[in-house]
Amino acid sequence: MKKFNKRNPLNVYRLRIMNPSYSYCHKCGLPWNHCKSKSVHANEHSATFATCQTCWENSTLEELKKYYTECYLKQEQSLFGSNHKMKHTLNHLLDCVEKEYNKTK
């Protein structure tokens, strides 16, 4: 019997349809309930996760910065019109991504 490859694009699509309330990895598209997220801490009270651990390990720094930028902008947009603001800037987050990348590579 063939092993289920959850990272196959068709299976990713199916998993996203079956788990509409979950956000997902910005690289492979897997919903968070089907993969382990890779958190980058912007400060002691907040972390951002834009990729799963597997995609983090298999991405360049430039790719990761792209995914974390997309995630940041999406989070920022979701706050539009509310009284809440992002607790850190995009540049600060990208600096944290670079530091974490350098620690793990």
| CA 90 to each of CA 9, 17, 19, 44, 53: distance values in angstroms, whole numbers, following the listed order | 30, 30, 28, 16, 21
Residue 2 lies in a domain: no
pLDDT by position in tens, the chain (length 105): 667 789 999 999 999 999 999 999 999 999 999 999 999 999 888 889 999 999 999 999 999 999 999 999 999 898 887 888 888 999 999 999 999 999 987
From the number of C-beta atoms within 10 Å of its C-beta (0-12, 13-18, 19+), residue 56 rates as buried
Residue 4 lies in a domain: no
pTM, two decimals, is 0.87
Domain count, the chain: 1
Which residue is listed with tokens 């539009």? 80
Range(s) of the domain holding residue 23: 9-104
Residue 91 lies in a domain: yes
Residue 3 lies in a domain: no
Residue 42 lies in a domain: yes
Residue 71 lies in a domain: yes
